[in-house]
Amino acid sequence: MILYAESNFLLELARQQEESASVEQLLQLAEARRIDLAFPVFALCEPFSTLARYGSDRNRFVSDMQRELRELGRLQPHKGLAAHLQPLTSTLLTIQRDEMNALETTLERILSIARRIDLTSPVFADARIHERELGLSPQDAIVYASILADLSITPASDEKCFVSRNAKDFDDPAITARLKTMNCRYISRFEDALAYATHMADSDGQG
């Protein structure tokens, strides 16, 4: 089976979010060639700007915190508290570096086994239509158009699914119905995608 994924697949693993264990197992299935993993090229780049934005927000928070700790350090009753909290600022500043390293490691693994869907002029033109007609963001419209383009050249008999935690935009009746016509289901949880992918991989193995 073919598993289509997007940027939150990488971010889930890089940031060790609540469904990261399921993402790791999905990636291992792909590395073992038990499923085919496919990514829009656009979605492989987007996580870097997302982490940079999180890092920028965190840096502002740390800057404000350091300023407050300096003020508390001048007050006799709170000197101990300020000294106790000071190491936390350094810890917070290392988070972006650790997450970025994890993202780069994850991307290296994905690039070694996943099929990449190029962003072409026709795909971008279709994305603009989806953006307008479905109310998708430009980023989501590009992901959706990329997947549709790949589905159009994939055998209809192949089992396929698109996993993304962005249910707010992709769990839309028009989108899920269009995907269904191309034998592709939309799944909004990595845990559920893992159960489906494992079942399909086991079925193929028995066949």
**Residue-by-residue pLDDT tens, the chain, 207 positions:** 999 999 999 999 999 999 999 999 999 999 999 999 999 999 998 898 888 888 888 888 878 888 888 888 888 787 888 787 877 887 877 888 888 899 999 999 999 999 999 999 999 999 999 999 999 999 999 999 999 999 999 998 899 999 999 999 999 999 999 999 999 999 999 999 999 999 998 877 655
Q: Rounded to whole angstroms, how far apart are CA atoms 37 and 88?
A: 39
Kindly report the pTM of this predicted structure: 0.86
Residue 159 burial class via C-beta count within 10 angstroms: exposed 0-12, middle 13-18, buried 19 and up: middle
Apex 10 CA angle, 6 and 13, nearest 5: 140
Q: At what angle do helices 138-151 and 173-181 cross, to 10 degrees?
A: 20
Q: Rounded to whole angstroms, how far apart are CA atoms 121 and 133?
A: 19
Q: Rounded to whole angstroms, how far apart are CA atoms 22 and 28?
A: 10
Q: Rounded to whole angstroms, how far apart are CA atoms 67 and 62?
A: 9
